[in-house]
Structure 1
Amino acid sequence: MSVFSTLGGALAQAADLIEPLFGASATAAAIILFTLCVRAALHPLARAAARGEKTRAAHAPRLAELRRKYAKDPERLREATAALYAETGTSPLAGCLPALLQLPVFFLMYHLFTNDGSGLLGHTLLGAPLGGHWSQALADGGPFGPHGLVYLALFALAAAVAFWNYRRARTTMARSAEGGTAADGAVPGLGGMLKVMPLLSFGTLISVAVLPLAAALYLVTTTAWTACERALLHRGGGADRTPEKEIAA
Structure 2
Amino acid sequence: MSVFARLVEQLAELLQPLFHASAAAAAIVLFTMLVRLLVHPLSRAAARGQKARTALQPRIAELRRKHAKNPERLQKAVLELHAEEKVSPLSGCLPSLLQLPAFFLLYHLFSSSTIGGERNELLTHELLAAPLGDRWSDALAGGGAFGAAGAVYLALFAVVLVVAAYNFRRTRRTLAESGAPVPAGAEGEGAVPGLAAVGKVMPFMSFATLITVAVVPLAAALYVVTSTAWSAVERAVLYR
Q: TM-score, normalised by structure 2?
A: 0.91
Aligned-partner Cα distance in 1 for 2:181–2:211 = 33
Q: Pick from 214, 227, 231 the counterpart of residue 226 of structure 1.
A: 231
Rate the CA distance shift 1:178–1:16 in 2: closer, same or farther, 3 A: closer
How many residue pairs match? The answer is 231
Q: Give the ranges of 4+ consecutive aligned residues of structure 1 lying more than 6 Å apart after TM superposition.
A: none
Calculate percent identity across the aligned residue pairs.
59
**Post-superposition CA distance 1:194-229 (Å, at most 9, x none):** 111111110011111111100110000000000000
Equivalence for 2:90: 93
Q: Which residue of 1 aligns with 2:157?
A: 155
The one-letter amino acid paired with 2:41 is P
- Which of these residues, 196, 201, 217, is aligned with residue 196 of structure 1? 201
How far apart are 1:109 and its partner, in Å? Answer: 0.6
Q: Gaps spanning 5+ residues in structure 1: where?
A: 236-249
Normalized against structure 1, the TM-score is what? Answer: 0.88
1:1-249 equivalence runs, <5 A:
5-118=2-115, 119=120, 120-177=122-179, 182-183=188-189, 185=191, 187-235=192-240
Match of 1:202, SS state, is helix
Query: CA shift at 1:50, angstroms?
Result: 0.7
CA contact (8 A) 1:64 1:179 kept: no
Aligned mates of 1:14, 1:200 — CA distance in 2: 32
Distance in 2, matches of 1:65 and 1:19, equals: 60
In the TM superposition, what is the alpha-carbon distance from 1:178 to its structure 2 partner?
A: 7.4
Contact 1:176 1:182 in 2 (8 A): no
Question: d(CA) in 2 for partners of 1:108 and 1:179?
Answer: 37
Letter in 2 for 1:44: P
Separation in 2, partners of 1:7, 1:72: 56
